[in-house]
Structure 1
Amino acid sequence: MVVALTLSGFTAPALTAQAPARTRRAVTGEPAGVRLELGYAADAFLPARGGLSREVVALDNLDLLLHLNLDVLLGVKETSVRVHVQSNRGSSVRARVGDLQGVSNIEAPREWRLYEAWIEHNIVPRRLSILAGVYDVNAEFDVIPAAGDFLNSSFGFGPEYSLSGEGGPSAYPLTSFAARLKARPVPALYALLGVSDGAVAVAERSRFALGDGEGALISFEAGYTRPMPGAIPVLDEPLSRVRRGRGQGIGRQLRRSRRWRIGRGRIVERVHTKVALGGWAYTRSFEAWDADASPGKSWGFYLLGERLLHEDPNGTGGLSAFARVGTAADAVNRLNLYVGGGLVYFGALPGRPDDVAGLGIAYARNGSAFLRALRAAAIPTERAETVLELTYKAQLGELFVLEPNLQWVMNPGMDPGVANALVFGLRGHVLLEFPSRRRGA
């Protein structure tokens, strides 16, 4: 389950015109110079059929975040800082199910870790920004807002991308140094360019070591987004100067459009429409699966999209659909194709506008070169793993969310010796913020 706290700011008598800007912001509800967040999520899973065992598995994720607005604190214009620390505990779901894609998207090594620590500067406000530091590439790249309420990892980060290279990119749970440039020439269009460590999870080196010949990962994405009707558009800045809802209805609608991404420490806005094309490439070469082939480059492309298909008459819910296709270089990567998609209904039950129901499918396919290598070694394997997920996210009050979940994993791990698995799950989560961004909703 996940737990979060929110501490409200204070109110005070009317301010004089001479009051310092930072004081006016603190009292009137404009962005404070400091914001703290605490998010806690806990999962319990039971492989009821198939897989490797019938044990109940429990695991959790704790996020501690500090946001600093240097404009307010130090007068450094259009600059912000984030420091994000994580802790994970519990057992492995994958070890009981035997799957590849990841039944739980919070499964991670049992440890405390520095997850993100970066500084961002808006070169041109709301148009061009640069970020540098310890950074999760998947915080902004390859994000489908409507898919964020599913528990399987593939709905949050395409597996052909997340399992690429040697240990994967700089993303949950292991991150490293990166730099990102973001442009938004007009409100509806954006472009991202990132450069990150090319070997984050290599055991023989520190995650924060640079200049050791491991190369870099280049990521790019360009897309179109259309906000939800009535929502106030923002440039996904943690401390963006957004005027709070012009009337209660818009405030409530904007709050309902926000989805907390567990393990990412980021609130993602629901959108009416999003279409994006992205790609990635490592600068170094990797050993090929075919013994006689020369080392090759690891690269890939993906196309994703989502759209609101039906909006409830009261404007607080509706049905959205999403889809994603990704491909990766066959010669050096295990997976060469991923296809996923689903339907999500916000406000699924009468009188419960904040609840979310979702049905999704995730298909990950082994590459031909990988299959040839295993068959040459007389290791039996299946072509692909497919997951069907049914989930319901129930909002219980302002802070707590409970999410029962069901996943049917076909060909777990592409291992013919592992039976198809039926997995029951339950997640609870909470988010606490100080000062609260729920104020005025």
Structure 2
Amino acid sequence: MGQSNLGRAINKAAVGLGLAAGLLTASNPAWAEGGSALKLSGAYRADIAGTLSGGLAKRGRVLDDLQIFGDLDLERAVGWKNATAHFQLLDNSGGRPNEDTGSLQGVDNIEVARQRARLFEAWVEQSFGEKASMRAGLYDLNSEFYANESAGLLLAPAFGIGSELAATGPNGPSIFPSTALAARLRVTPNPHVYAQAVALNAHAGVLGDPGGVETSFDNGLLLVAEAGWTGNGKIAAGVWRYTRKQDDLRLTTPDGDPAPATAQGAYLLLERALTRGDRNAPRHATAFARLGLSDGDTTAFHGGWQAGVLVKRVFAGRPDSAFSIGLNQALLSRKYRDNALDDGRRLSGSERAIEVTYADKIGPVTIQPDLQYVKDPGGDRALGHALVAAVRFGVAF
């Protein structure tokens, strides 16, 4: 299982629990009258995950994620009316279970390529009455765009943001684990309708990444717009586009360089409560479905879909119990498959997976066993379908 990784995870968990007392003290500064202007919180997660059959290798991995959050009321702190500031720190380490699975989409949403501490988010929000707000700074696109709340319990990264968007950009868009400088405008003309748009640096980079925060904008912008309705569910649609063209997967210029191609796409989000009454009532169920499409010229994906169900408070006597099942399919682009064929690999048109998970809290610790079955990992028919088991331990403070 990698004892060094397990040891680091245990040490980091101890550090996270030790920080709790300090955060409670720090979040009550004397300069804020009538309550604290600064609120600090944190969360720690540790996963043990392994491929039981199929895939590329059968072994276990240990990986973890420590997060520290800070929210500052700028009106209380410095007199800046209707403004707040937010920051989030990450520290990720451990193994990479997807290396054993061979999945293009991944199987664990806290896996990172570079193990290090990072400044993940740091933005200021200005509200304009109750119907509009602007955020500017280092911003996580998936915190408000292309997101379904009822998909949040699932571990597979595909349920966080569609792979056809997650795979774009020079080093990925502004999502976990590295964000980019951005400006976001959100308008809510009434409690059930919203529209939002954001412009982000196409090159993600934060403190902790090589080169730190990317400020040049030499790679252009990623533009995203989304509008929707929320109530007893959610219906939303979004579009995205990069302002600077990217390398085509297959076409070349007369000089032999990759031809420039426009990376763009669209998505649709649906969510619906399946049971009536209070959302905290026993066995309250919510279903979600999503569909995303992209150009298919610049990444391995030209689209995909995800769907599933979340059941909260599965047992009436266990208020923190939750169960979720999700299905996803990544549609591989023709150009990506043609490139693989040139290398002697015949890929199927998609990678499919199903995930089943259950979470409950014992004392302060949430324990979440998880099972995933990935069919044709990476679209490679030569790989056996992968069965992946994991258990996540989490604590919030």
Q: TM-score, normalised by structure 1?
A: 0.79
Partner SS for 1:381: coil
CA positional deviation for 1:22? 4.7
Is 1:127–2:131 an aligned residue pair?
Answer: yes
Give the count of matched residue pairs: 368
Q: Is the 1:49–1:421 Cα contact (8 Å) retained in structure 2?
A: yes
Matches within 5 A, 1:291-330: 291-292=251-252, 294-311=259-276, 315-330=281-296
Is 1:221–2:221 an aligned residue pair?
Answer: no
CA positional deviation for 1:316? 4.6
Instruction: Tell me which residue corresponds to 2:256.
Output: none
Instruction: Tell me which residue corresponds to 1:351.
Output: 317
> Higher mean Cα deviation, 53-62 or 162-171?
162-171
Partner SS for 1:427: strand
Please point out which of 47, 71, 77 is paired with 1:73. 77
**Letter aligned with residue 352 of structure 1:** R
Instruction: Tell me which residue corresponds to 1:337.
Output: 303
Instruction: Tell me which residue corresponds to 2:395.
Output: 430
Q: Deviations for 1:397-433, whole angstroms, at most 9, x for unmatched residues?
A: 4x3211000000111122233211111110011111x
Cα distance in 2 for partners of 1:347, 1:83 equals 31
Q: Is the 1:311–1:317 Cα contact (8 Å) retained in structure 2?
A: no
- CA gap of 1:160–1:207, structure 2 versus 1, over 3 A, is farther
Is 1:392–2:352 an aligned residue pair?
Answer: no
Q: Deviations for 1:145-191, whole angstroms, at most 9, x for unmatched residues?
A: 00000000111111111112322211101112111111111111111
CA positional deviation for 1:212? 5.3
Cα distance in 2 for partners of 1:134, 1:170 equals 8
Gaps of 5+ in 1: 10-19, 27-31, 227-271, 433-441
Q: TM-score, normalised by structure 2?
A: 0.87
CA positional deviation for 1:41? 0.5
Q: Is the 2:322–2:359 Cα contact (8 Å) retained in structure 1?
A: yes
**Letter aligned with residue 142 of structure 1:** Y
Is 1:23–2:33 an aligned residue pair?
Answer: yes
Aligned-residue Cα RMSD (Å) equals 2.4
CA positional deviation for 1:201? 6.5
Instruction: Tell me which residue corresponds to 1:152.
Output: 156
Instruction: Tell me which residue corresponds to 1:288.
Output: 248
- CA gap of 1:207–1:280, structure 2 versus 1, over 3 A, is farther
CA positional deviation for 1:292? 4.6
Cα distance in 1 for partners of 2:361, 2:276 equals 20
Partner SS for 1:82: strand
Partner SS for 2:245: strand
**Letter aligned with residue 59 of structure 1:** L
**Letter aligned with residue 194 of structure 1:** V
Matches within 5 A, 1:5-404: 5=20, 22-24=32-34, 26=35, 32-108=36-112, 109-122=114-127, 124-200=128-204, 206=211, 208-211=213-216, 213-226=218-231, 272-292=232-252, 294-311=259-276, 315-397=281-363, 399-404=364-369
Cα distance in 2 for partners of 1:329, 1:364 equals 14
Cα distance in 2 for partners of 1:343, 1:105 equals 18
**Letter aligned with residue 295 of structure 2:** A
> Higher mean Cα deviation, 155-164 or 310-319?
310-319
Partner SS for 2:77: helix
Greater relative contact order (Cα < 8 A, sep 6+): 1
Cα distance in 2 for partners of 1:421, 1:195 equals 38
- CA gap of 1:89–1:292, structure 2 versus 1, over 3 A, is closer
The percentage of counterpart residues that share the same residue type is: 30
Partner SS for 2:151: helix
Q: Is the 2:264–2:294 Cα contact (8 Å) retained in structure 1?
A: yes
CA positional deviation for 1:312? 6.4
